[in-house]
Structure 1
Amino acid sequence: MINQIQKPLTFTVNLTQKAHQLAENFCNNHSNLQKSEQVYLNTLAIYSVNHYLQCLGFTTDWKASNSYDPIIQSFLDVADLEVINHGKLECRVVSPDAKFVYIPQEVWNARIGYIIVQLDESLETATLLGFTPRVSTEELPLNQLRKLEEFPLYLQQVTPPIDLNEWFEDVLQQGWQTLESLLNTESVGNFNLSFKDASYLQAEEIIEAVKRIEFENQSVLMLVALKPEEDEQINVRLRIYPDSENKCLPENIKLAILSDSGETLKEVTSRSIDNFIQLPSFRCNSQESFKIRLSLNGICFTESFFL
Structure 2
Amino acid sequence: MSSFCVPPTQLLLEVPSQIQDEAWQQSQSYTSPSGRWYAFLNQVCLSTFLPWLQVEYAPEASIDNLPRNWEVVNGCAITLDTKRLILIPDKNLETREFSVPQEWLDIPQWAGDYYLAVQVNPDGEWLRIWGYTTHEQLKNQGQYDPQERIYSLEANQMVEDLSVLWVVRQLYPNEQTQTAIAPLPELSPTQVENLWQRLASPTITNPRLELPFEIWGALLAAPKPAPVNLSQWLQNIVAEGWQTIETLLGTQPDFAFSFRQTSDVNEQSIQRVKVIDLPNNQPVILMLTLTPETDGRVGIRIQLSPRERNLYLSPNLKLTLISASGEVVQSVTARETDNSIQLKRFRCPENTRFSLQVALDEFNFTQDFVS
Equivalent-residue separation in structure 2 for 1:273 and 1:302 (angstroms): 24
> What TM-score results when the alignment is normalised by the length of structure 1?
0.51
Determine the structure 2 residue equivalent to 1:223.
287
Cα pair 1:294 1:301 within 8 Å, conserved? yes
1:43-85 superposed Cα distances (whole Å, 9 cap, x missing partner) = xxxxxxxxxxxxxxxxxxxxxxxxxxxxxxxxxxxxxxxxxxx
Letter of the structure 1 residue corresponding to residue 236 of structure 2: D
Counterpart residue type for residue 365 of structure 2? F
DSSP 3-state at the match of 1:180 = helix
Q: Could you say which residue in structure 1 is the equivalent of 2:270?
A: 207
Q: Does 1:249 align with 2:210?
A: no
- Equivalent position of 1:272 in the other structure: 336
**SS of structure 2 residue aligned to 1:160:** coil
CA distance in structure 2 between the partners assigned to 1:282 and 1:206 by the alignment: 14
Q: Distance in 2 between matches of 1:285 and 1:101?
A: 30
Which structure dedicates a bigger proportion of its chain to strand?
1
What letter corresponds to residue 149 of structure 1 in structure 2?
A: W
2:226 maps to what in 1? 160
1:132 aligns to what?
A: 65
Evaluate the alpha carbon distance shift between residue 145 and residue 291 of structure 1 in structure 2; reply closer, same or farther with a 3 A threshold.
farther
Q: Tell me the SS of whatever aligns to 2:345.
A: strand
Count of equivalent residues: 174
Q: Does 1:183 align with 2:183?
A: no
Work out whether residues 209 and 223 of structure 1, in 8 Å CA contact, stay in contact via their aligned partners in 2.
yes
Find out whether 1:172 has 2:238 as its counterpart: yes
**For the residues of structure 2 that align with 1:156 and 1:298, how far apart are their CA atoms?**
23
Output the CA distance in 1 between the equivalents of 2:349 and 2:224: 24
Q: Is the 8 A contact 1:234 1:283 kept in 2?
A: yes
Judging changes above 3 Å, is the alpha-carbon distance between structure 1 residues 210 and 229 closer, same or farther for their aligned structure 2 residues? same
1:240 has 2:173 as partner: no
C-alpha contact (below 8 Å) 2:228/2:368 kept by paired residues: yes
User: Residue 210 of structure 1 contacts residue 223 of structure 1 at CA under 8 Å; is this kept in 2?
Assistant: yes
Task: Give, in angstroms, the shift of residue 145 of structure 1.
Answer: 6.9
Q: CA deviation at 1:271?
A: 1.0
Query: What residue identity is the alignment partner of 2:274?
Result: K
Please point out which of 253, 256, 261 is paired with 2:325: 261
> Please, what is the CA RMSD of the aligned residues?
2.8
Cα distance in 2 between the residues matched to 1:246 and 1:198: 13
Q: TM-score scaled to structure 2, two decimals?
A: 0.42
Contact 2:227 2:367 in 1 (8 A): yes
The ranges of structure 1 where at least 4 consecutive aligned residues each deviate by more than 4 angstroms after the TM superposition are 143-147
CA distance in 2, matches of 1:171, 1:233: 19
Q: Does the CA-based 8 Å contact 2:282-2:306 persist in structure 1?
A: no
Q: Name the amino acid aligned to 2:240.
A: Q
Question: Alpha carbons of 1:141 and 1:276: their partners in 2 closer, same or farther (altered >3 Å)?
Answer: same
1:242 Cα shift?
0.6
Indicate the SS of the match to 1:132.
coil
What does residue 100 of structure 1 align with? 60
SS at match of 1:267: strand
Consecutive unaligned residues in structure 2, runs of 5 or more:
1-56, 68-77, 88-103, 112-216
| 1:2-151 correspondence runs (5 A) | 100=60, 131-133=64-66, 142=80, 147=104, 148-149=109-110
Q: One-letter code of the match for 2:361?
A: N
Residues 137-194 of structure 1, C-alpha deviations (whole Å, 9 max, x = no match): xxx853677853377433448332101111112111111001232232x3346x4xxx
Deviation at 1:241, TM superposition (A): 0.6
* Contact 1:289-1:304 at 8 Å conserved across structures: yes
8 Å contact 1:132–1:145 — kept in the other structure?
no
- Superimposed CA distance per residue, residues 76-134 of structure 1 (whole angstroms, 9 cap, x where no aligned partner): xxxxxxxxxxxxxxxxxxxxx986268xxxxxxxxxxxxxxxxxxxxxxxxxxx94348
Give the letter aligned to residue 60 of structure 2.
F
Decide whether the 8 Å contact of 2:246 with 2:253 is kept in 1.
Answer: no
2: distance between equivalents of 1:264 and 1:213?
Answer: 21
Q: 1:281 to 1:145 in 2, by over 3 A?
A: farther
